[in-house]
């Protein structure tokens, strides 16, 4: 199965937007290997919007790469990425134009899928801008799903319709391997929190073969780049915010697509993105949905996730702006009543600290925006 576990990789959009070129992609590929990100599981390197000329080739009708950004063509970049042991990803749109006003794939699905295959693409992010009002969104994603099946190359189909049209109810049937269920993320805690919390009711619509994508990670951006936000009410994120973001993405089985500039990544962010235990939770073979265990104040949800091999992941969060907030998990609410005699033996995923066996409940205090995650096992 092409998408048995949530895909992992890097996407250019969050940091670079339209400012992409061949050298940037090659340098990023080099860094992904040098920093051990490929070995940690991040295998896709995806070029987002703005890679092509503004119009299709008049003679062939094909989308063609921007000659100034990719003077040797896309195939040369794809070959370089593949030479590093990585997989190469591209972008198009179900509409007549892409979101940044480049040629979309509407009514050109089979030609474009064949073009992407010729370029050596292994991944296609397929956006939803500028479709005719009379066009049916479900049919558009079915068309590209069929076109990719006909192109002669195995290409992961990343649908990106932002949660429109009740997408979670039908997208798996189109052949898509992951699907965006949210609007665009920005590099702010408020944006990240709103996206994560909006998906609680949709977590069950994610499973091997087709994963709920809650957008690219902003971890490590620090207010720089294409989706940066720095307003009075929406300031840039800090390490504690990114810790909570990455923990939630792993807990929710979301694809993990890095969005910061990998060439400038700091040690704190790199350590976070390579945390083996969190990645193991994200990549757990059973891919079971997380659920809310307890929520004392409305902004302190505690999430629980069944893992393979009899383990559980438990995530405490303070999604509010108050300090020293109590967060609790009452075990009866997750199916472990006191009468069972069982509790959870907890180990901190970041520090490795053995918390020991807890029964009936576990309560901690968290600073604003902070979180703590544990691996647990049932014990008497």
Stated length of the chain: 380
Catalytic position from the list 66, 184, 234, 348: 184
HSE, side-chain direction, 13 A CA sphere, residue 130: 15
Verify whether residue 166 is a known catalytic residue: no
Give the rounded distance of the alpha carbon of 304 from its chain centre. Answer: 19
State the helix-helix crossing angle for 239-251 and 189-198, rounded to 10 degrees: 20
Verify whether residue 184 is a known catalytic residue: yes
Residues 291, 294, 300: CA angle, nearest 5 degrees = 100
HSE, side-chain direction, 13 A CA sphere, residue 54: 1
Catalytic position from the list 127, 187, 213, 284: 127
> Hunting for tokens 């294409």 — which residue is that?
226
Hey, which residues are catalytic here? 127, 184
């Amino acid at each position: 199965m092409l998408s048995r576990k949530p895909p992992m990789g890097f996407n250019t959009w969050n940091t670079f937007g339209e400012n992409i070129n061949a050298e940037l992609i090659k340098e990023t590929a080099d860094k992904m290997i040098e920093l051990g990100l490929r070995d940690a599981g991040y295998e896709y390197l995806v070029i987002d919007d703005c890679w092509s000329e503004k119009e299709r080739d008049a003679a062939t009708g094909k989308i063609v790469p921007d000659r100034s950004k990719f003077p040797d063509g896309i195939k040369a970049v794809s070959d370089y990425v593949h030479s590093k042991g990585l997989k190469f990803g591209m972008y198009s749109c179900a509409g007549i134009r892409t979101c940044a006003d480049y040629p979309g794939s509407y009514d050109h699905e089979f030609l474009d899928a064949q073009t992407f295959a010729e370029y050596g693409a292994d991944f296609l992010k397929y956006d939803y801008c500028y479709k005719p009002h009379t066009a049916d969104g479900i049919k558009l994603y079915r068309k590209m799903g069929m076109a990719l099946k006909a192109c002669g190359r195995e290409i992961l189909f990343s649908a990106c319709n932002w949660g429109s049209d009740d997408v979670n109810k039908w997208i798996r049937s189109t052949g898509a391997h992951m699907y965006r269920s949210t609007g665009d993320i920005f590099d702010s805690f408020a944006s990240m929190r709103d996206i994560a919390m909006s998906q609680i009711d949709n977590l069950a619509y994610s499973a091997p073969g087709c994963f709920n994508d809650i957008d690219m990670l902003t971890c490590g951006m620090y207010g720089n780049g294409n989706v940066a936000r720095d307003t009075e009410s929406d300031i840039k994120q800090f390490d504690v915010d990114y810790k909570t973001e990455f923990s939630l993405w792993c807990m929710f089985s979301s694809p993990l697509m890095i969005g910061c500039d990998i060439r400038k990544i700091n040690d704190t962010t790199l350590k976070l993105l390579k945390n083996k235990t969190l990645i193991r939770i994200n990549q757990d073979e059973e891919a079971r949905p997380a659920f809310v265990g307890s929520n004392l104040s409305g902004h302190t949800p505690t999430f629980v996730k069944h893992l393979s091999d009899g383990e559980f992941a438990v995530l405490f969060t303070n999604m509010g702006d108050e300090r020293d907030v109590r967060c609790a998990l009452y075990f009866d609410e997750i199916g472990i009543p006191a009468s069972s005699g069982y509790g959870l033996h907890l180990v901190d995923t970041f520090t490795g600290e053995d918390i020991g066996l807890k029964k009936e409940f576990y309560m901690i205090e968290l600073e604003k925006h902070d979180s703590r995650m544990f691996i647990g096992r049932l014990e008497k």
